[in-house]
């Protein structure tokens, strides 16, 4: 079972990305945020990028590639709380930890984070909805 149900088709994704390019929006995988510590200036170029930021950018690119692949297979719907509960996402996250793929774990954690939800306890997952 996928996330929940398809939302954005691969064709719709391509159209959205084409519009974003037409509007001059940067590719999300190329965005650099930099670190803003108390005594550290933001990093401005790739050469001066903090290793943490570079690692996050590479991880995010891998996450986006995996999400695109799964969307092309018809998966989606994680953002619809009526069709896809936090408990279900938490169950999937826990299953994928055991499978060992950090990209899947990262994507599932992102989904919960973006919905403002926490990972359900193992007891809640085992008891179900």
pLDDT tens-digit profile of 44-88?
A: 555 678 999 999 999 999 999 999 999 999 999 999 988 999 989
Nearest-angstrom CA–CA distance, 115 and 43? 29
Task: Work out whether the CA dihedral 96, 114, 61, 54 comes out positive or negative.
Answer: negative
Say if residue 38's pLDDT is above 60: no
Sign of the dihedral defined by the CA atoms of residues 115, 105, 71, 89, in that order: negative
CB atoms within 10 A of CB 111: 20
Query: Against a cut of 0.75, is the pTM above it?
Result: no
Q: Over the stretch 11-26, which tens digit does the pLDDT of each residue have?
A: 555 666 666 677 776 5
Place 27 in a pLDDT band, splitting at 50, 70 and 90. Answer: low
């Amino acid at each position: 079972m996928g996330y929940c149900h398809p939302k954005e088709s691969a064709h719709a994704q391509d159209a959205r990305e084409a519009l974003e390019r037409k509007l001059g929006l940067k590719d999300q995988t190329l965005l650099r945020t930099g670190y803003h510590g108390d005594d550290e200036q933001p990093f401005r170029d790739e050469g001066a990028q903090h290793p943490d930021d570079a690692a996050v950018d590479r991880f995010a690119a891998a996450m986006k590639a995996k999400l695109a692949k799964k969307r092309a297979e018809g998966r989606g719907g994680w953002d619809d709380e009526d069709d896809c509960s936090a408990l279900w996402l938490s169950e999937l996250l826990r299953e994928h930890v055991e499978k060992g793929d950090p990209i899947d774990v990262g994507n599932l954690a992102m989904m919960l984070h973006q919905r403002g939800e926490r990972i359900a306890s193992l007891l809640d997952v085992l008891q179900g909805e």
